[in-house]
Amino acid sequence: MSLTAENKKLIFDSIRDINDFPKEGIVFKDITTLLNNKEAYQVLMNHLEERYKTYDLDYVAGIDSRGFIFGAALADRLGIGFVPVRKKGKLPATTVCEKYELEYGFDEVEIHLDAFCNKENAKVLMIDDLIATGGTANAAAKLIKNVKADLVEVCFLLNLKFLEGDKRVEEHAPVYSVLDI
């Protein structure tokens, strides 16, 4: 099911901009207003369910933290497992980590070593709310592949096309974005 122009507008209009957050010059895309708009959220989730129900996925992996919201809901709708990709130090069992560069330093994401129940070639969809420069998503994609899962596609609600982060992630899997900005 592709989204109509009207549905895309409904979703887009339900996301508010917060200027100068978290620092001056940044326009933060606040999805909390999408989440509390039951019509817009339902349109989005119906679209994602329709898109991915034929992919024969084993898991949805969501990136910390807003990817958890969409990923867990989608996994439930698809009747499959959900796997969190967390910031370093947040997972309790044995993990593998991937470091990535930020504009002001480095950060790391991690995943449980047995996140996909040691199922080699588990078919995984990775999801997050937004892709900008692609650092976090690129690192998360590497992690999923490092634990021998098959990263089928990477999905973002918003893609800030002018930053070209999607190109970095496309080295690992196809990228789908609901809305391109």
- Exactly one of 6, 24, 103, 120 is catalytic; name it: 103
Q: Does residue 32 sit within a domain?
A: no
Q: Do 52 and 78 touch, CB atoms closer than 8 A?
A: yes
Q: Does residue 20 sit within a domain?
A: no
**66 in catalytic set:** yes
Rounded to the nearest 10 degrees, how much is the dihedral formed by the CA atoms of 152, 147, 58, 32? Answer: -80
Q: Can you give the pLDDT of all 181 residues of the chain as single tens digits?
A: 689 999 999 999 999 999 999 889 989 999 999 999 999 999 999 999 999 999 999 999 999 999 999 999 999 999 999 999 999 999 999 999 999 987 677 899 999 999 999 888 999 999 999 999 999 999 999 999 999 999 999 999 999 999 999 999 999 999 999 999 9
Pull the structure tokens for residue 126: 């990775």
CATH number, residue 111: 3.40.50.2020
Q: Does residue 44 sit within a domain?
A: no
* Count: domains in the chain: 1
CA 92, CA 123: separation in Å to the nearest integer? 24
CA 165, CA 134: separation in Å to the nearest integer? 4
Q: Does residue 33 sit within a domain?
A: no
**103 in catalytic set:** yes
pTM of the predicted protein model: 0.95
Q: Does residue 19 sit within a domain?
A: no
Pull the structure tokens for residue 124: 């995984």
Q: Can you give the residue range of the structural domain that contains 174?
A: 55-180
Q: Does residue 132 sit within a domain?
A: yes
Q: 14: cis peptide before it, omega within 30°? A: no
- Exactly one of 51, 66, 86, 168 is catalytic; name it: 66
